[in-house]
């Protein structure tokens, strides 16, 4: 995920836009004024970092079609096996899993 440097660039951009000293100053001013601040109310750095991470993961996944196909196959396998279990058809579930195994080779 870190090969293209997207996440690293985003972290640097966010850090530059939100200097820690400024955030601390606002937080302590609000606290000393009796406002009981939460850091999330003062600054959205953590939310922005989380979103940058989500975007970086999505970018990496787009570059790995084989991984995405494998993830789709695993989701299908899980969904299908749950459906058989819900119906009480254990033998059908076993056949389903065997068929899925045979298709992946």
pLDDT at 60: 86
The arithmetic mean of pLDDT across residues 28-54, rounded, is 85
pLDDT at 71: 85
pLDDT at 27: 85
pLDDT at 39: 73
pLDDT exceeds cutoff 60 at 105: no
**Lowest-confidence range among 1-10, 34-43, 53-62, 68-77?**
34-43
pLDDT exceeds cutoff 90 at 11: yes
Residues in CB range of 1: below 8 A, 6 or more apart: 7, 56, 57, 59, 60
| Closest of 73, 55, 40 to residue 6, by C-alpha | 55
């Amino acid at each position: 995920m870190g090969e293209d440097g997207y996440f690293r660039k985003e972290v640097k951009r966010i850090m530059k836009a939100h200097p820690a000293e400024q955030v601390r100053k606002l937080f302590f001013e609000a606290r000393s004024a009796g406002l009981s601040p939460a850091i999330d109310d003062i600054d959205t750095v953590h939310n922005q970092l989380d979103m940058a991470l989500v975007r970086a993961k999505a970018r990496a996944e787009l570059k790995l079609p084989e991984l995405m196909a494998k993830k789709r196959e695993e989701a299908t396998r899980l969904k299908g096996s749950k459906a058989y279990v819900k119906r009480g058809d254990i033998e059908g579930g076993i056949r389903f899993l065997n068929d899925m195994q045979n298709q992946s080779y």
